[in-house]
Chains A and B, each alone.
Chain A
Amino acid sequence: MARVIAGSECWPFTGGASEFEVEGATVRDLIASLDARFPGLGAFVDKRMAFAIDGEIHQDAWFSPIRPDSEVCLIPKIGGG
């Protein structure tokens, strides 16, 4: 199970939980697992958040792979100048 770290944006959905483990071999699977566990969180992170998988930022990337021991950090999507 991947270890998910969720910032304050996600807390309204997680009831304040900031670290938890969920299943998911890809970002899309993970989104589904998140939504199953915390209804509404899936759609929220899909639209608003990026996925830092083992330190590497993935944005809008459903099929990016996640290993069973991966750390997945949910962070706001990044723009730039």
Chain B
Amino acid sequence: MSETLDKPAAKAPLTIVGTRPIRPDGADKVTGRAAFGADFHMPGQLVGRVLRSPHAHARIVSIDTSKAKALPGVKAIVTAADFPDLASEMVEGSEASSDIRDLSLNVMARHKVLYHGHAVAAVAAVSGDIAEEALARIKVTYEVLPHVTDVEEAMAPGAPLLHDHLFTEGLEARPAQASNIARKHRFVRGDLAEGFAAADVVVERRYDTKATHQGYIEPHACVAAWGEDGRCDVWCSSQGQFTIRSYCAKVLGLETSDIRVTPAEIGGGFGGKTTVYLEPLALALSRASGHPVKMVMSREEVFRATGPTSGGVIEVKLGAKKDGTIVAAEVELKFQAGAFPGSPVGTAAMTALACYDIPNFSIVGWDVVTNTPKTAAYRAPGAPISAFGVESAVDELAQKLGLDAIAIREKNAVRDGTKASYGPTFQNIAYVDTLKVIKDSAHWNTPLGPNQGRGFAVGFWFNVGGESTAAVHIGEDGSAVVVTGNPDIGGSRASMAMMAAETLGLPIEKVRPMIADTNAIGYSMLTGGSRVTFATGMAVVQAAEKVVADLRGRAAKLWDVAADQVVWQGGQAVCLDPAKADKKPLTIEALAAQSARTGGPISAQAAINAQGPGPGFAAHLCDVEVDPETGVVSVLRYTASQDVGKAIHPSYVEGQVQGGVAQGVGWALNEEYVFDADGRMENAGFLDYRMPVASDLPMLDAILVETAPNPRHPFGAKGVGEVPIVPPLAAVANAVSAAIGVRMPNLPLSPPKVLAALDAKAG
């Protein structure tokens, strides 16, 4: 069950936005017709496979591929020697800028392997079996080095050093020695000592979380075809065909314009498909072999070699007055970045206190490289980790003060006009409304039974805008095609079609959305950062408005009136000129039928850099029951409210909320990378890396708060996809702590850990 808290909009009533039509790509997705990354096939294609490091940290002494090359059916073998040795260069053009040298070294190890599973060579052969046999025949001589996977061990003096050239950035002076600490982030306000001195109550605790994977069900897959003219094609599933194109060009030293990337349907990404792993290898193998090359990762490879998010340590100290006013906060974050710098500790730090108005604080974040897979973005990158610590600490503070979990948040809540902890002044936010609807929910007042506990937590995410292109073409029958450059991961085709239909006045069935390849639409940033419905949606509406202006202009000419005497209403041009009262409205069909005579095809494009995405706030309430015999935690009830601005397609917005909750519950209860003494992940499969299944969860109630529409968006939309994963870690942990009477600061709360806490409590 889901409900909506709504304030009536001042504008003309919406007829499509806010309704729940069937998604335009629905039939393809329920019949098996939709073609995902691994479903593409080219005649004559070879099978590509990757040889991966068996060590967590080692020097590559030599690679001998001669025996593999001699195997009949092997068509190409590539190693780092086949890729340019790139200089360090920060690339933009994606949401999180990254060093292209690191990207290249992650795609294919050069000189050193930095994690178990790091690619060292790739083979293309006529069959998978032959490719596998070839991998077994490649002889790599390693000099094994000491490794480090734990973040605090990696920070310690004398830790095995991953990169000789890594000197901590963000310190007052450049350090004399290289270390594994890539960067220090710092956000401060007020006077911390004064703040704590004024506090009546102080809570302080250390929390930690383990690395978790995005867990998309579709493994990475691509087909690459190198043309004899130097032009090449890549078909792959990703969160952005333009980013894949730009990264491939950089890693291979090619002209961007020589690569065309065609987006396949994408089987989940959650941030994990915002970078390249296989694509440059497939291109290099195709270049070397003269054949198209298809590469598909196994699930084990996905775990071992693609981005998880960081495991982290979160130290939190909060000071408050007796009435619950928080006067001081100190937060220190230490995040595993994996093999190369770039953990999400910066955004974790910026979001850590974003729901609170606190006069004195210090937030410090450390980005630390470790011998684990390079982290990739994962849904509201970093924010769930810092929120786990802060929201657990606020829970503890509320208990000490005898306040309820919502009251303490209301007391310290950010509102319009509050200066956010990360700097700017908030505007058009509905955070306190997300608290109110939880307080008003039936769930908040449902009595609990024995061994049950209730947990509450809140979360914040910025959301992003950025560059998007959209085109709207009107067919000769008056229907519309909407073209964008953003892969549809969660139903965004539906919202694109709905916004275009609303603007054009067409029924939703007459609008067909499509996602074009890099040569068929203008540049568009990744599908990520909760930006598509906001930013690409704005481009779609602007393109549709241009079409409407064109249609009005044509009607004005047909009627021989001034353009301002024609309005667009309900999908037709209406003449306002009283002298032409006999002119019947002209429908889009009628105008389309005459398009040749009135100026040619009706078509428009908008290419924008959308600014002013509204931030997202979420408040989550979770009930659990703990089995005292086994330590198993069952989630009984879950209610999540969220400031969404305006839901374009409420079902898919609820779906984002519910999906984020489920991922967060998995993170809280079971998911973790488990490394053995040699730095190898021990649980690289879905059996042992335990994601939530249907029987683990109850229905997940989503309450969409629409009291603060985003003034920048034509329909008021804010990004919705990311913030729902921010509160669940703490909401679940607070519920478990309440159920068993023991604070649980270390995730995941898997049965052995809960049982140990129960045993320790029993003494």
User: Knowing that A77-B95, A81-B722 are A-B contacts, what are 20 other residue pairs whose CB atoms are under 8 Å apart, sorted by A's residue number?
Assistant: A5-B423, A8-B185, A9-B170, A52-B424, A55-B420, A55-B426, A73-B423, A73-B425, A77-B97, A78-B95, A78-B347, A78-B464, A79-B96, A79-B97, A79-B464, A80-B377, A80-B464, A80-B529, A81-B269, A81-B270
Bound: A54/B270 CA distance, A: 30
Taking a contact as CB atoms under 8 Å apart, the answer to whether A79 and B425 are in contact is: no
Looking at the assembled complex, report how far the CB atom of A10 sits from the nearest CB atom of chain B, in whole angstroms: 11
Give the residue of A7, A61, A78 whose beta carbon is less than 8 angstroms from that of B187. A7
Bound: A57/B271 CA distance, A: 21
Tell me the residues in window 25-70 of chain A with beta carbons closer than 8 Å to chain B beta carbons: 47, 52, 54-61, 64
Given A55-B427, A56-B611, the answer on whether A79 and B94 have CB atoms closer than 8 Å is yes
Taking a contact as CB atoms under 8 Å apart, the answer to whether A81 and B427 are in contact is: no
Taking a contact as CB atoms under 8 Å apart, the answer to whether B95 and A71 are in contact is: no
B90 near A: Cβ within 8 Å?
A: yes
Give the residue of A57, A61, A71 whose beta carbon is less than 8 angstroms from that of B613. A57
Chain A residues with CB under 8 Å of B170's CB are 8-9
Bound: A57/B350 CA distance, A: 14
Looking at the assembled complex, report how far the CB atom of A27 sits from the nearest CB atom of chain B, in whole angstroms: 10
B49 near A: Cβ within 8 Å?
A: no
Residue of B nearest to A56 (CB): B612
Bound: A33/B426 CA distance, A: 25
Bound: A60/B613 CA distance, A: 14
Taking a contact as CB atoms under 8 Å apart, the answer to whether A78 and B722 are in contact is: no
Question: How many residue pairs bridge A and B at CB < 8 Å?
Answer: 113
Given A57-B611, A58-B611, A81-B270, the answer on whether A75 and B423 have CB atoms closer than 8 Å is yes
Chain A residues with CB under 8 Å of B96's CB are 79-80
23 contacts between A and B (CB under 8 A): A7-B187, A7-B422, A8-B187, A9-B170, A52-B424, A54-B427, A57-B424, A57-B462, A57-B612, A61-B611, A73-B424, A76-B346, A78-B464, A78-B529, A79-B95, A79-B347, A79-B528, A80-B464, A80-B722, A81-B377, A81-B380, A81-B528, A81-B721
Give the residue of A54, A56, A79 whose beta carbon is less than 8 angstroms from that of B377. A79
Chain A residues with CB under 8 Å of B272's CB are 81
Residue of B nearest to A27 (CB): B611
Tell me the residues in window 388-437 of chain B with beta carbons closer than 8 Å to chain A beta carbons: 420, 422-427
A: interface residue count bin: 20 to 34
B23 near A: Cβ within 8 Å?
A: no
Bound: A38/B679 CA distance, A: 46
Given A9-B170, A57-B465, A59-B611, the answer on whether A75 and B424 have CB atoms closer than 8 Å is yes
Chain B residues with CB under 8 Å of A57's CB are 424, 462, 464-465, 611-613
Residue of A nearest to B171 (CB): A12
Taking a contact as CB atoms under 8 Å apart, the answer to whether B427 and A80 are in contact is: no
Bound: A52/B421 CA distance, A: 13
Bound: A57/B463 CA distance, A: 10
Chain B residues with CB under 8 Å of A81's CB are 214, 269-272, 274, 377-381, 528-529, 721-722
Chain A residues with CB under 8 Å of B522's CB are none
Give the residue of B346, B467, B529, B712 whose beta carbon is less than 8 angstroms from that of A56. B712
Looking at the assembled complex, report how far the CB atom of B428 sits from the nearest CB atom of chain A, in whole angstroms: 8
Give the residue of B350, B423, B466 whose beta carbon is less than 8 angstroms from that of A59. B466
B186 near A: Cβ within 8 Å?
A: yes
B531 near A: Cβ within 8 Å?
A: yes
Centre residue among A5, A71, A79 by max chain B CB count within 10 A: A79
Bound: A5/B381 CA distance, A: 24
Taking a contact as CB atoms under 8 Å apart, the answer to whether B381 and A79 are in contact is: yes
Chain A residues with CB under 8 Å of B528's CB are 79-81
B530 near A: Cβ within 8 Å?
A: yes
Chain B residues with CB under 8 Å of A73's CB are 423-425
**What is the interface of chain A, defined by CB distance below 8 A to chain B?**
5, 7-9, 47, 52, 54-61, 64, 71, 73-81
Chain B residues with CB under 8 Å of A56's CB are 424, 427, 611-612, 712
Chain A residues with CB under 8 Å of B269's CB are 81
Chain B residues with CB under 8 Å of A71's CB are 424-425
Taking a contact as CB atoms under 8 Å apart, the answer to whether B609 and A80 are in contact is: no
Give the residue of B90, B94, B423 whose beta carbon is less than 8 angstroms from that of A52. B423
Chain A residues with CB under 8 Å of B214's CB are 81
Residue of A nearest to B274 (CB): A81
Given A78-B529, A80-B380, the answer on whether A59 and B425 have CB atoms closer than 8 Å is no
B188 near A: Cβ within 8 Å?
A: yes
Chain A residues with CB under 8 Å of B347's CB are 76, 78-79
Taking a contact as CB atoms under 8 Å apart, the answer to whether B90 and A47 are in contact is: yes
Looking at the assembled complex, report how far the CB atom of A34 sits from the nearest CB atom of chain B, in whole angstroms: 15
Looking at the assembled complex, report how far the CB atom of A20 sits from the nearest CB atom of chain B, in whole angstroms: 14
Taking a contact as CB atoms under 8 Å apart, the answer to whether B722 and A76 are in contact is: no
Closest 3 CB pairs of A and B: A80-B529, A81-B271, A79-B96
Residue of A nearest to B428 (CB): A55
Instruction: Map CB proximity to A onto B67-98 as digits: 1 under 8 Å, 0 otherwise.
Output: 00000000000000000000000101011110
Bound: A55/B710 CA distance, A: 12
Instruction: Map CB proximity to A onto B710-722 as digits: 1 under 8 Å, 0 otherwise.
Output: 0010000001011
Taking a contact as CB atoms under 8 Å apart, the answer to whether A59 and B380 are in contact is: no
Residue of A nearest to B528 (CB): A80
Chain A residues with CB under 8 Å of B346's CB are 76
Chain B residues with CB under 8 Å of A78's CB are 95, 347, 462, 464, 529
Give the residue of B185, B612, B721 whose beta carbon is less than 8 angstroms from that of A58. B612
Chain A residues with CB under 8 Å of B274's CB are 81
Residue of B nearest to A16 (CB): B172
Taking a contact as CB atoms under 8 Å apart, the answer to whether A80 and B424 are in contact is: no
Bound: A73/B719 CA distance, A: 21
Chain A residues with CB under 8 Å of B379's CB are 81
Looking at the assembled complex, report how far the CB atom of A49 sits from the nearest CB atom of chain B, in whole angstroms: 10
Chain A residues with CB under 8 Å of B186's CB are 7-8
Residue of B nearest to A58 (CB): B611
Taking a contact as CB atoms under 8 Å apart, the answer to whether B187 and A80 are in contact is: no
Chain A residues with CB under 8 Å of B427's CB are 54-56
Residue of A nearest to B416 (CB): A55
Looking at the assembled complex, report how far the CB atom of B53 sits from the nearest CB atom of chain A, in whole angstroms: 27
Tell me the residues in window 147-205 of chain B with beta carbons closer than 8 Å to chain A beta carbons: 170, 185-188
Chain A residues with CB under 8 Å of B462's CB are 57, 78, 80
Looking at the assembled complex, report how far the CB atom of A79 sits from the nearest CB atom of chain B, in whole angstroms: 3
Chain A residues with CB under 8 Å of B424's CB are 5, 52, 54-57, 71, 73, 75
Chain B residues with CB under 8 Å of A7's CB are 186-187, 422-423
Taking a contact as CB atoms under 8 Å apart, the answer to whether A80 and B95 are in contact is: yes
Bound: A13/B685 CA distance, A: 48
Residue of A nearest to B272 (CB): A81
Looking at the assembled complex, report how far the CB atom of B175 sits from the nearest CB atom of chain A, in whole angstroms: 14
Taking a contact as CB atoms under 8 Å apart, the answer to whether A79 and B712 are in contact is: no
Bound: A74/B424 CA distance, A: 8
Chain A residues with CB under 8 Å of B97's CB are 77, 79
Chain B residues with CB under 8 Å of A64's CB are 611
Residue of B nearest to A6 (CB): B423
Instruction: Map CB proximity to A onto B441-485 as digits: 1 under 8 Å, 0 otherwise.
Output: 000000000000000000001111111000000000000000000
